[in-house]
């Protein structure tokens, strides 16, 4: 990292910066040149992206935008200190993110940027210091989330399963009641409680139900804090604002639905909480995070230009294509995991596209009826990304247990609006056919 104008030549390249300022999850495999999510730091136009619930390879336009920001930073560093340049670029990224969410200047929330989604949970825990935390089963979010949420007081973290071992759904009322029982018991003991409302999970769920969370908030008031895990960013700006209006914190990332590079997180805080927040990210320059957010915002601003009706139409088209394709099979049988309808009616925010299912988890059954396990699903997931003679390459959502995922992303919608050739049905069908062929070749 540079410190003086004389060190300008030491600023890493765009590709190197895009994998800097995170942790080992950004490290590139020496043989494949990809990180653990199957992504390179440079564009890979030959890879068909259907895995935005995990990560996405950077697009050419986003890569160019990241490179342009690097150039602007280099130019600014000729006459200004590193932290001055960094903080100015950071402030501009925050402004653009809040503008994308439709947050006005007068009532704007505070946006804390961080390298990863896991860091956002740590920020929330440090800010609110809960003695009890309640959240969804980490299989639906990430294994590091419960640890991040333990907070400085090392309070208890309770997780609630929403699916059974076979992937079927538990009764939603039973799940909501389990969340409520934990919150009520802790709050009755006088503990400060942090409840995580996941919207949307790795397999496309909202949990606990929004109505039940609002009821708990009315019951316990300031003793209960709510963090909305919207790290998939499969929600509209109107939904973001509706959560903030309830004084809920909202965690977002630019690397899932928005398809920016991995490791770009943002924690939005209602104005009432902002006064007590410490913005640690401004204490040390992280140009890698800046470039990743620049790439993500490039995709977000392309998406912002798409009319709402087109967004909904594309989401419906993808939903139809995925549902139809998963009902067919060749060597393998594809079995969709159930995903309940997205219900945000209690929030009072109405939208179009974000009420449509955009993540489609499915398991694979071999001839003879045997269900493939997690290791086999991961092997097929990796094989799909590798070049084979005459075959296309595909990036699906990495396995959750033994379930792979087909996912819609913002760039896939923006490409339709831009008039580019996008055939959801053909791409999904080809990906599933490649899964069958890869299995048969194993």
**Which residues have C-beta within 8 Å of that of residue 338, sequence separation ≥ 6?**
167, 168, 169
Provide the token pair at 148. Answer: 């991040």
CA distance 248 to 299: 26
For the chain, domain boundaries: 84-301, 305-441
- Angle CA 393–396–401, to nearest 5: 135
Q: What is the pLDDT of residue 178?
A: 98
What is the Cα 264 distance to its own chain's centre?
A: 9
Q: What is the pLDDT of residue 91?
A: 94
Q: Where are the beta strands (DSSP E) in 92-223?
A: 110-114, 132-136, 156-160, 193-199, 206-207
Query: CB 423: neighbour CB atoms within 10 A?
Result: 11
- Which DSSP letter does residue 372 get? P
Contact 303, 414 (CB under 8 A): yes
CA distance 224 to 78: 48
Q: What is the pLDDT of residue 9?
A: 46
CA distance 344 to 347: 5
**Which residues have C-beta within 8 Å of that of residue 365, sequence separation ≥ 6?**
332, 333, 334, 335, 371, 372
Query: CB 189: neighbour CB atoms within 10 A?
Result: 10
Any idea which architecture 84-301 has in CATH?
Answer: 3-Layer(aba) Sandwich (3.40)
Contact 265, 115 (CB under 8 A): yes
pTM summary value = 0.94
Query: CB 431: neighbour CB atoms within 10 A?
Result: 21
User: DSSP states of 259-302 as a string?
Assistant: ---S--EEEEE-HHHHTT---GGGSS--HHHHHHHHHHHHHHHH
Provide the token pair at 44. Answer: 């890979």
User: DSSP states of 392-421 as a string?
Assistant: -EEEEEEEETTEEEEE--HHHHHHHHTT--
Provide the token pair at 319. Answer: 């939903």
Q: What is the pLDDT of residue 144?
A: 60
Residue 51: name the closest of 434, 438, 412 by CA: 412
CA distance 63 to 150: 36
Provide the token pair at 22. Answer: 């995170």
Q: pLDDT tens digits for the chain (442 residues)?
A: 444 444 444 689 999 999 999 888 889 988 888 898 889 999 999 999 999 999 999 999 999 999 999 999 999 999 999 999 999 999 999 999 999 999 976 667 899 999 888 899 999 999 999 999 999 999 998 766 655 555 445 578 999 999 998 899 999 999 999 999 999 999 999 999 999 999 999 999 999 999 999 999 999 999 999 999 999 999 999 999 999 999 999 999 999 999 999 999 999 999 888 877 777 677 899 999 999 999 999 999 999 999 999 999 999 999 999 999 998 767 789 999 999 999 999 998 777 899 999 999 999 999 988 999 999 999 999 999 986 767 899 999 999 999 999 999 999 999 999 999 899 999 999 999 999 999 987 7
Q: Where are the beta strands (DSSP E) in 161-270?
A: 193-199, 206-207, 224-229, 249-253, 265-269
DSSP reduced 3-state for 254: coil
Q: What is the pLDDT of residue 7?
A: 47
Query: How deeply is 68 buried, as exposed, middle or buried, from its count of CB atoms within 10 A (0-12, 13-18, 19+)?
Result: middle
């Amino acid at each position: 990292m540079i410190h003086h104008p004389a060190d300008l030549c030491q600023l890493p390249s765009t590709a190197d910066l895009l994998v800097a300022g995170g942790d080992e999850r950004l490290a590139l495999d020496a043989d494949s040149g990809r990180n653990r999510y199957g992504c390179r730091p440079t564009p890979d136009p030959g890879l068909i992206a259907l895995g935005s619930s995990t990560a996405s390879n950077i697009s050419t336009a986003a890569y160019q935008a990241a490179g342009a920001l690097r150039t602007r930073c280099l130019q600014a560093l000729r006459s200004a200190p590193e932290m001055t340049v960094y903080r100015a670029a950071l402030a501009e990224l925050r402004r653009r993110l809040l503008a994308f969410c439709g947050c006005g200047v007068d009532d704007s929330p505070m946006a804390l940027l961080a390298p990863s989604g896991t860091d956002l949970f740590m920020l929330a825990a440090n800010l609110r210091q809960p003695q009890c935390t309640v959240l969804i089963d980490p299989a639906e979010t990430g294994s590091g989330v419960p640890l991040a949420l333990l907070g400085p007081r090392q309070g208890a973290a309770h997780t609630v399963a929403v699916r059974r071992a076979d992937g079927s759904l538990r009764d939603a009322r039973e799940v909501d009641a389990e969340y409520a029982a934990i919150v009520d018991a802790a709050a009755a003991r006088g503990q400060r409680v942090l409840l995580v409302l996941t919207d949307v999970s790795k397999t496309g769920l909202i949990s606990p139900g929004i109505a039940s969370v609002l009821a708990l908030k009315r019951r316990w008031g300031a003793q209960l804090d709510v963090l909305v895990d919207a790290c998939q960013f499969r929600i509209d700006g109107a939904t973001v604002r509706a959560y903030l209006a309830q004084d809920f914190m909202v965690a977002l990332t630019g690397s899932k639905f928005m398809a920016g590079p991995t490791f770009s997180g943002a924690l939005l805080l209602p104005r009432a909480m902002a006064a007590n927040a410490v913005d640690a990210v401004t204490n040390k320059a992280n140009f890698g995070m800046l470039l990743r957010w620049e790439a993500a915002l490039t995709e977000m601003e392309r998406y912002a230009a798409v009319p709402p009706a087109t967004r909904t139409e594309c989401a419906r088209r993808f939903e139809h294509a995925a549902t139809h394709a998963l009902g067919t099979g060749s060597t393998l049988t594809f079995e969709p995991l159930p995903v309940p309808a997205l219900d945000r009616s209690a929030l009072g925010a109405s939208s179009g596209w974000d009420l449509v299912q955009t993540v489609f988890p499915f398991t694979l059954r071999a001839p003879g009826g045997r269900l493939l396990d997690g290791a086999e699903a991961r092997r097929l997931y990796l094989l799909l990304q590798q070049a084979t003679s005459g075959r296309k390459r595909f990036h699906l959502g990495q396995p959750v247990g033994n379930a792979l995922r087909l996912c819609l992303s913002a760039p896939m919608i923006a490409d339709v609006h831009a008039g580019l050739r996008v055939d959801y049905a053909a791409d999904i069908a080809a990906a599933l056919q490649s899964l069958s062929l890869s299995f048969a070749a194993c």
